[in-house]
Structures are given as C-alpha cells and as structure tokens.
Amino acid sequence: MSASAPHVTEPHPVPPLVEELIPCPDPWDVARRLAHLPRLLFLDSADRHPERGRYSYVMADPVEWHGGGGQRFGVGTVFDNLSRSFDNFRRAPHPDLPPFQGGLGFVLGYELNRQTEERVPAPRNDEFGLDPVGGLSAAGLYDWVVSFDHKQQRAWLVVHGRPELDRSPKRRIAIEKLNEIRAALRRGRQPLKHVPTRSPLQATLVPQHPLPGFPGVTSNFSRAGYLAAVRRAIEYVHAGDCFQVNLSQRLLAPLAEHPLELYGRLRATNPAPFACYFDAGDFQVVSASPERFLKLTDGGVVTQPIKGTRPRGTTPEADAANIRELTTNLKDRAENVMIVDLLRNDLGRVCEYGSVVVPKVCAVETYRYVHHLVSEVRGRLRDHLGPFDLLRAAFPGGSVTGAPKVRAMEIIAELEPTARGPYCGSVGFVGFDGAMDTNILIRTFTAGRGYVQFPVGGGIVADSDPEREYEETLHKAAGLLKSLKLATDEYG
C-alpha cells in the first residue's frame, strides 16, 4: 500500500468478522462448495512455491460490479473507474491474516493497452463484443473472502459487511453473510448448473482454420498465415522497429461442460502459483499462470518476469541437465534481460527516483513440473500515487508484448487477426488497505457461449525460425488441450 496515496477513509469503519476454519479445508473444495454463488473468483496457488505460491483466496457475490454481465464501465478509463471504487473504502489490514482481506478482484483484458498507450490501434477484428471503454475486463468489490496461508496450513473467513453502510446495518449484514458462507461450506458441493448451450460466436465472422493434429480445434491463422506473420515480425526486427514481438494464434474449441470443471482438470495437470478461475458473467477466465505481474505492499513494488522454461527431468541427472540447458541458453537469457530493462523503465515512470533496482536476474526457480528462468525488479511507489497508477504505468506486462513495448503492441495489432481479450492481460486484487497482487494471463482459457478460446504464441526475434515457432505453439497448445481431453499423441 502507498501510505499517503489519495483516498477517502471508509465512512463507518467496523472491524471485520474473522473466523478461522478448523481443520484447514482444501481451497479447491471450498471453491466448489461456493460455486453456486455469482461472480466466483478463485485466486489459486495450485503449485505452492514458498514465496510466490503461499496464499490462495476464494470470494464471490460482490457488493459492487463493473463490466461484464452487461454492466459497462463508467466515464473515464477502467483504471479511473476502479480507483474511484477503491478509494471510498480504505482501511488498515488485520496484521495476522493473509494479505488480501477483501476489496477489489478483477480481470483486465489485454485491449486496455489502448487506454495506456494511445498509439496502439484497435484490433483488426473484435470477436468478443468488447466494451469500448473496458475491453474484456470486469471487477467486483468483495466484502468477504476465504483466505488461505499454505505455509501455516491455516484458513480464515473474513467478512466486512457492505462497506458503504452505517455501523449497525453493516454489522448485521456481516453476521448474516458469515452464517450464509458457513452454511454453504457445511452443505458440501452442489451440482454445477447453467452449462451453456453452444451458439455462434462473433469469432465465426473471422475465417476459422482447422489446427493440424487437433480434431475439433480451429485457429484464427492458417499454417501459412502464421508463418507469414512470423516472417513479417522478423522483418520488423531486422528493420530496427523492435527487438522482439510476442506473436500468438488464437485457438477455439467447443466446451460442453461448466468452465469450473475445466479449471479443476487444468489445476491438476498444470498446477501454477498464479492460477485462477473468474466467473465474470458473460465470460469465464480459466488460467494456469506461472507468472506474477505486479505486487504492491506498503509502497514497495515487485515484478517478476519469466522468460525461459524447461520441464523437470525424470531422473536427478536429467533434471540437472535441463537446468544447465536453461541457464546457458543465450536466447532465453537475452530475452529475459530485455524484459527486465523494459520493466525498469515502466516502474521508473511511477517509482521514486533511484529506487528501482534489479536484485535478481535469470535465477532458476523450480516447481513441480517445470524450471523457470525468473528475474525480479523492485521499486518504491511515489507517495502521492496508488495501485491503479502503478497498473496504468506498466500494463500490459512487457513479458507478453515484446520490446520496445509500444511498437511491439502496434505490430501485434497489425499481424494478429483478432482481439486477445483476457489473454496477456491480468487477474488480481487490490485490498481495502491498498495492497495489490496480480498475474500475467498466459496458459489461459476464456470460456463463453459453449466455447473456449486460448491463444498460444512466443517471442519472435531476429534469428527466429518460422517453422519452429509454429511448432512451438502446437506443443504449448497440447499442454492446455490435455485439460480439454483433445491432445493427440503427436503433440500431447
């Protein structure tokens, strides 16, 4: 939290009701038991890294909603709207609980880049029906949350009651909500309802191309079209427009089940420290993100880009060999350092002069199934700024655009046939105290109208091979398609 950021103190502060859940329940089981409630948001550290995967959160039924579900954002940018909503209800955190104790939970779609950089053109085709202000973004003000600390193996139900009300009705509503959530947790899992009936997407207005090796899956690129786009991106790199462009193809597949069931399989096959499920009404975000975007605590800013990934080996010797290959790969290291420089510049726009430092460059972090090459950039937010100023300065994350960022986003808008939506955007929270944590939405499905859309891509640089880049997207697709049970022997 930026302690002196401009804000309006909550008009009638009342301490939240806090109840520890004993024994500590499983976060996935809690999410399933509460799935009947609207606008479920599950921030899920499914791969429990000791630092980046320590906490998980389940919340639903927000008292205020922006975007999605036919409720569009108000006047100004999405960042303006969220800042106004958040600034009305600031309060100090409980010192003994996980960092998020209620506040704003949100998804920010990639196309918000047009609100942060005016030069970026609109996508060539809008298959989502984007809100002209919000893109495919949504946010809720959540007055209760189930918070998990995996290190302590403890969980708490924290209930504020509607933050805008006077003390007496607020306390009454908090007690009612506490009893409601208790009862839902005791009842057990309810059947998931409202499986959507398939209906034509706007995506069908864009030519669909069968994806080789994946029956029933289509792409917004033909193979030849993607190869041509990669070659054009390489031409831009050689011409000096940019050093790297992150290019993707958007895949489309039918979904005949509730998106939360898909998420359950995804978290089992691709556990990740920044995984999430978000029911935004018109659409659902299903993600196995491994990457933190921005974290803000007491004015301290942290971003942790990932560039470079290798699988775990089946033996200790193979595992060590994969780590050596990762740490000595010049392309991975060069891309990682390039993104670090980009993020230093982004943070420098809003952080105190001289505070931006890089304590970690190209360090190996090991998870259950993969090794990542992770760097870290830190800074101190200027006293008069808050979390949404930070988001505005750095969105979207540089690791999913290329560098320089603005020119890379212009090239992406030129070469990719359709809007990205949530992909390469962010899901996260801003607590009532101003603390923030967000992810980068990669390895992500967007569900709606009986389909899922999931772009896959990679960073294009001067020596990229178009055929190899295309094959890499198919291998990335196979990992996600295992969750849909659509992977083939060739790629999965």
Domain tally for the chain? 1
Q: Does any domain span residue 491?
A: no
Question: Coil, strand, or helix at residue 452?
Answer: strand
pLDDT for res 79: 86
Q: Which of 374, 378, 395 is nearest to 291 (CA)?
A: 374
123 domain residue, yes or no? yes
Task: Find residue 366's DSSP bridge partners.
Answer: 371
Catalytic annotation present for 291: yes
Q: Identity (one letter) of the amino acid at 431?
A: G
Contact 135, 112 (CB under 8 A): yes
**DSSP letter, residue 135:** B
List the beta bridge partners of residue 486. none
Q: Which of 153-181 are b and which e, b meaning 16 or more Cβ less than 10 Å from the residue's Cβ?
A: ebbbbbbbbbbebeeeebbebbeebbeeb
Domain membership of residue 420 (yes or no) is: yes
| DSSP classification of residue 196 | P
**CATH number, domain at 446?**
3.60.120.10
Helix locations, 133-254, DSSP H: 167-187, 223-238
pTM, full prediction: 0.92
Number of residues written out for the chain: 492
Q: 3-class SS at 479?
A: helix
Task: Count other C-beta atoms under 10 Å from residue 188's C-beta.
Answer: 9
Secondary structure class of 9 (helix, strand, coil): strand
The first and second tokens of residue 285, run together, are 């975000």
Q: Which of 291, 335, 410, 416 is catalytic?
A: 291
User: Whole-angstrom Cα distance, residue 408 to residue 414?
Assistant: 10
> Is residue 334 one of the residues assigned to a domain?
no
- Residue 147 belongs to a domain: yes
Q: List the chain pLDDT tens, one digit each, 492 residues.
A: 333 343 444 555 678 899 999 999 999 999 999 999 999 999 999 877 777 789 999 999 999 898 865 556 666 778 888 888 777 777 778 889 999 999 999 999 999 999 888 899 888 777 776 665 567 899 999 999 999 999 999 999 999 877 655 566 778 888 999 999 999 999 988 888 766 656 555 555 678 899 888 888 999 999 999 999 999 999 999 999 999 999 999 999 988 889 999 999 999 988 999 999 999 988 999 999 999 999 999 999 999 999 888 888 899 999 999 999 999 998 889 989 999 999 999 999 999 999 999 999 999 988 877 888 999 999 999 999 999 999 999 999 999 999 999 999 999 999 999 889 999 999 999 999 999 999 999 999 999 888 899 999 999 999 999 999 999 999 888 888 888 875 444 444
* Residue 202 φ/ψ, nearest 5 degrees: -60, -20
SS3 63: coil
What is the end-to-end Cα distance of the chain in Å, rounded?
Answer: 43
Four-residue CA torsion sign, 233, 348, 378, 107: negative
276's CB contacts (< 8 A; 6+ apart) are 41, 42, 43, 44, 285, 287, 289, 427, 439
- Residue recorded with tokens 């993707």: 248
Closest CA to 62 of 9, 102, 98, 116: 102
**Is 482 annotated in the active site?**
no
Task: Choose, from 170, 177, 295, 307, the residue flagged as catalytic.
Answer: 307
69: left (phi over 0), alpha (psi -120 to 50) or beta: left
Report the C-alpha gap between 478 and 204 in whole angstroms.
Answer: 23
At 488 the pLDDT is: 42
Beta-bridge mates of residue 20:
156
Residue 97: count other Cβ atoms within 10 Å of its Cβ. Answer: 18
Q: Is residue 451 within 8 Å of 286, Cβ to Cβ?
A: no
Domain presence at residue 338? no
Q: Identify the CA nearest to 474 among candidates 485, 453, 490.
A: 490
Domain assignment present for 287? yes
Q: What pairing do the DSSP bridges indicate for beta strands 55-59 and 144-149? A: antiparallel
Strand partners, 139: 66, 106
| Secondary structure (3-state) at 480 | helix
The pLDDT of residue 489 is 43
Q: Examine residue 355 and state whether it is found in any structural domain, yes or no.
A: no
- Domain span at residue 473? 17-299+381-484
DSSP state of 282: S
